[in-house]
Structure 1
Amino acid sequence: MDKAEATQGAGQVAQAAPARSRRDHRIDALRGAALLMMFIDHIPQNLLNRFTMRNVGFADAAEVFVLLAGYASWLAYGRGFTKYGVLPTLQRLFKRCVQLYIGQTIMVMAYVFTVRGWRHFTPVSVDYLEPELAHGLGWIWRVMMFDALPSNLNIMPLYLVLLTGFPIFYLLMRVHRSLALLLSGALWMLVNMDPGLNFPNWLDPDGWYFNPLAWQFLFALGLTASAETQQRGRDFPRVPALVALCSVYLLFSAIQAFPWTLWGLPDMRPFGAALAPAKSWLSPLRLFDVMAIFYLVQSSDGVRQWAAESWVGQELARVGRHSLEVFVVGTILDLYARLIFSTFGEGWALQVAVNVVGLTILIALASWLDRRRVRARAGKVAPVAVAPAASRSAEG
C-alpha cells in the first residue's frame, strides 16, 4: 500500500468513527437539565427551586429522568442483544446494576454518618434522616435489601428495579412491540385504580414513594420511543396538530400547577387545589405532561441544533452523559446544603453560595469525567472499539 492509499484509508476510518459514535445531544441535554433541577428541588429551603419545572407543570425532573433513562437504556442495551450477543449484553447490564447499587450504598452511608456526626455539634431535625435510621444498626440490612427506602434516596432503587426488568420487556418487544407496551400500560392503569399495589417500605406504610409498578410504564415508553426512532432512522414527525395539542396541554398544566399564592398573586388555577395529580403512582396528568415535553423536544430540529452547538446545550449534555456520578454527588451535596441552611440560616449570601458552589461542582465533575472519557477513547487504536464505547456512553 502506497502513502496515498494509506492516507485515504485513514481518512475513511476518521470519517466512519464519528458516524458510529454519533448521538442525539437533545437526550443528554434534557437529562442534564433534569439532574441539575433535581439537585435544586431536593433542598426545600432553596429559593431557586421556585424556578424549576415543577412550578410550571404537573411533571417534574423525576419524570424526565425516568423517561430518558428508558430511552438511553435501549441505546445502551436494546441494540446490544443483536449487535454483540445475549451474554455480553447481559453482563454489561449486570455491571450497570452493580454500579447503581454501589451508588445507592454510598449515598445512604454518606447520609447516615453525616447526620450522626453533625448532630454532635448542633441539633439536627429528624427530617434529615428517618428516625428508624438515627439509632442502632438494625436498619442496615433493610436499606441494603431495599426493604427500607429513606426520603430523597428512593429514585435510584426505582431505576435499578426498572433496569433489572429490562430483559423481560425486551423479550415482550421481540414478540410484539405493541403487546409489550399494552401490558406495561395495563399494569400502570391497574395501579392508578388501586394505589395500594406497591412494593413494601419499612419506613412508610404506603410503600415505595416511586411505585415501580406504575413508573415502569414511563420507562417502557422511553424504551419504545428509542426503539421506534432507531427503526425509523429519523426523529418523530413534527405534526402541527400534535404540536398544538401538546402546547395547549402544557399551558393548562403550567397555569394549574403554578404556585400563585407563593408569589403573592391571585390564585388563577382553573380547578383550584382539587386537581393535584399524584406523583407516587404517576397519575395520567403527570404522564401526559412529560410525554408532551418529550415530543416537542424530540421532534424539533431547532432543539437538536441548540443541544449540539450551543455552549449551554453542550454543558448540559456533559452532565447528562454522566448521570450516575452527577446524581450521587448531587444528592450528597443536597444533604450538606440542607444542613447548612438549618444551621446557619437561609440568608441571601448562603443561598447564592450554596447554589453557585453546588452547581459548579456538578458541572465541573461532568466536564472532568467527559475529558477523561475522551482521553480513554483516544488511547484506543482499533476503530472497531468506537462502537461499544458509544453504546456504553448512552448509559450515562
Structure 2
Amino acid sequence: MTDAPSSKTRADDGEGEYASGVTATAPSRDWRIDFWRGLAIVFIFWNHSVDNVMSWFTTKYYGLSDSAELFVFLSGFAMCGMFLSKFLRRPFMAAPYAVTRAFTLYIHHTAFVVIATLASAYRTYAGSSVMERDLFIRPFFIATETVITKLATLAYLPPLLDILPLYILLTLLLGLLFPVFRGNWKLYAGFAVVVWLFAFFTGATLSSYPDTRLWTFNPFAWQAVFLAGFCACLARDEPWLKRVVAAPATLALAVTIVIVGFIAAAPWATLGLLDWRPLRILTDVADKANASPIRLVHFLSLALIACWLVRRESGLGATRFGRAMILIGRRSLPLFVISTVFAAMSHGVFDWFGRSIPVQIVYALGMAGVLVGLAFVADALGKATKTKKSAPPSAPSAAPEPKRAPVRIEDGPESAKPATAAAP
C-alpha cells in the first residue's frame, strides 16, 4: 500500500535523521488497512465456525496462507502508523504505552470465561457436551483452579482466542524495540529474520496446558509476520520500494505465486472431486504454526495484487459494504473477541438445528450482520462522544438592551435623539 501519501515528521531528539539516512515518517491513515482488517475478522469468524460452508468464500482453501497472516500483518502495519504519529518525538513513551495496550489485550484474553459459560449453559440446557469437547473446554471444568492460573499466565491458550497471547507478547516486544530502532526499518527486518532463524534451527516455541500442547502461533516465528507489516509501513515511501511495487514484472511474479499456491492447495481435492495434488510438497512445508516463509511470500503476493486492484482513491470505501468493513476494522479488537464468541456458539447452534447448508449460511450471514450493526453503533457513539467533548461551552446569554425613554414625535427633531439614561 505504497501509493498513499504520508505526512512527514522530523524527530526532535537531537539526531535529526535515523541511521537509515531517511527522515522518519508518520503515514496518514489509509482506509484500506481498516477495510482489509474488517474483512479478515469476518473471514476468521466464518473459518472458526464449525464446518461452515461460508469458509469457502474466504482465502482458506485457495492458497498457502489465510486470514491469520492478513490480520497479523495489518496489525503490525497499523501499529507502526500509530507509533510514528505518537512517539517519534518521545520514543521512550512507547514502552509504557505498549504495557497499557498489552493490558487491554490481556483483559480481552480472559473473555474465554464467556465461551466456557456458554458451553456450560448449553450442556445444562441441551444435555450435550459438544461445545466442551470441540472447543477443548473440558479441562477448564475438570481442573478449574489449575487452568485459571494457567490462563492468567498465558500458559493456557483459550479456544479461538489463541492469537491474543501472541498479540500481547508482540505489543510488549514493540515497546522495547521502538525506543532503540526508532524509524529504521532495516533494524526491525534484521531482528525479525534473526529471531525467526533462531526458532527454525532450535525449534524454540512456548508450551500450553497441558504441557504436550504447543502455542498455535509460535511467537518466535510469528513476530516476523507482525514486523513485516511494521517494516512495510516504515518503508512505504522508499523510492526503491515504490518502483518494485509499481513494476509490471513484480505483479506478474505475484500472480504466478498465487496461481502456484492455488494448485498446491488443490481445493478440488478438499471437496473430494479429484484426488490430484501435484504440488502437495508446498503445503507440507508451509507450516502455519511456525510462520513458514512460503506462507508469508504467498500472502505478500496477495497483498500486492490487492493494492493494484483497490487503490486508495477507489470508491469501494464509500460503498455500504466498504463502510461496514472499515468500521469493523477500526474496532478490530472487541469485534474480533465477539466474533470468536459467535464462532464458539456455532458448535451449539449446528448441534441443535443441524448442519444443513441453509442453517450454516443463515447463521454465518446473520452473525456477520450483527458485527456490522455493532460496528455502526460503536461509530455513532464515538462520534456523539467526540462531538460532545469538542463542543465549545455555551455562550452566556447577552445582556438585555437597556430600555430607552420613549420618543415623542410631537416634540420635534430635538427630542428624537435617543435617551442616554437606561431604565433600571
Q: How does the TM-score come out when normalised to structure 1?
A: 0.83
Of 200-209 and 300-309, more deviation after overlay is shown by: 300-309
Question: Aligned to 2:279, which of 265, 271, 277?
Answer: 271
d(CA) in 2 for partners of 1:174, 1:373: 31
Question: Aligned to 2:225, which of 201, 212, 218?
Answer: 218
What is the root-mean-square deviation in Å for CA atoms of aligned residues? 2.6
d(CA) in 2 for partners of 1:375, 1:145: 38
Report SS of the residue matched to 2:210. Answer: coil
1:344 and 2:348 correspond: no
Report SS of the residue matched to 1:165. Answer: helix
Report SS of the residue matched to 1:291. Answer: helix
Structure 2 residues not aligned, in runs of 5+: 1-25, 393-424
- Structure 1 residue 257 displacement after superposition: 1.0
Question: Structure 1's 281 and 327: CA in aligned 2 closer, same or farther, altered over 3 A?
Answer: same
Note if contact 1:172-1:180 (Cα within 8 Å) is conserved in structure 2: no
Aligned-residue identity in percent: 25
> In the TM superposition, what are the counterparts of 1:377-396 in structure 2 within 5 Å?
377-381=386-390
d(CA) in 2 for partners of 1:249, 1:189: 23
- Structure 1 residue 312 displacement after superposition: 2.1
The one-letter code matched in structure 2 to 1:220 is L
- Structure 1 residue 163 displacement after superposition: 0.8
Question: Structure 1's 273 and 117: CA in aligned 2 closer, same or farther, altered over 3 A?
Answer: farther
Note if contact 1:238-1:300 (Cα within 8 Å) is conserved in structure 2: no
Of 358-367 and 372-381, more deviation after overlay is shown by: 372-381
Q: Which has the higher contact order (CA 8 A, sep 6+)?
A: 1
Report SS of the residue matched to 2:246. Answer: coil
Structure in which a larger fraction of residues adopt helix: 1
Report SS of the residue matched to 2:288. Answer: coil
Question: Structure 1's 332 and 175: CA in aligned 2 closer, same or farther, altered over 3 A?
Answer: closer
Cross-structure match for 1:99: 104
Note if contact 1:191-1:213 (Cα within 8 Å) is conserved in structure 2: yes
Cross-structure match for 1:325: 334
- Structure 1 residue 231 displacement after superposition: 6.8
Report SS of the residue matched to 1:152. Answer: coil
1:127 and 2:134 correspond: yes
Cross-structure match for 1:334: 343
Structure 1 residues not aligned, in runs of 5+: 1-19, 384-396
Question: Aligned to 2:372, which of 358, 363, 366?
Answer: 363
Deviations 1:123-178 (A, max 9, x none): 21322234321324221010111011133221011111111110233244238431
- Structure 1 residue 48 displacement after superposition: 1.1
Question: Structure 1's 302 and 177: CA in aligned 2 closer, same or farther, altered over 3 A?
Answer: closer
Question: Aligned to 1:197, which of 179, 200, 204?
Answer: 204
> In the TM superposition, what are the counterparts of 1:1-396 in structure 2 within 5 Å?
23-83=29-89, 85-86=90-91, 89-106=94-111, 108-121=112-125, 122-125=127-130, 126-138=133-145, 139-174=147-182, 176-194=184-202, 196-203=203-210, 205-229=212-236, 237-272=245-280, 275-276=283-284, 277-298=286-307, 302=311, 304-381=313-390
Note if contact 1:69-1:222 (Cα within 8 Å) is conserved in structure 2: yes
Deviations 1:286-330 (A, max 9, x none): 111111122333455636514433332222111111101110110
d(CA) in 1 for partners of 2:38, 2:242: 20
d(CA) in 1 for partners of 2:81, 2:289: 27
Note if contact 1:25-1:307 (Cα within 8 Å) is conserved in structure 2: no
d(CA) in 2 for partners of 1:271, 1:94: 44
- Structure 1 residue 348 displacement after superposition: 3.3
- Structure 1 residue 279 displacement after superposition: 0.5
Of 268-277 and 255-264, more deviation after overlay is shown by: 268-277
d(CA) in 1 for partners of 2:61, 2:313: 25
Note if contact 1:147-1:201 (Cα within 8 Å) is conserved in structure 2: yes
Cross-structure match for 1:10: none
Report how many residues are paired: 360
Note if contact 1:115-1:129 (Cα within 8 Å) is conserved in structure 2: no
d(CA) in 1 for partners of 2:63, 2:288: 12
Note if contact 1:26-1:307 (Cα within 8 Å) is conserved in structure 2: no
Q: How does the TM-score come out when normalised to structure 2?
A: 0.78
If you compute each CA radius of gyration, which structure gives the higher value, 1 or 2?
2
Question: Structure 1's 39 and 348: CA in aligned 2 closer, same or farther, altered over 3 A?
Answer: same
d(CA) in 1 for partners of 2:317, 2:366: 26
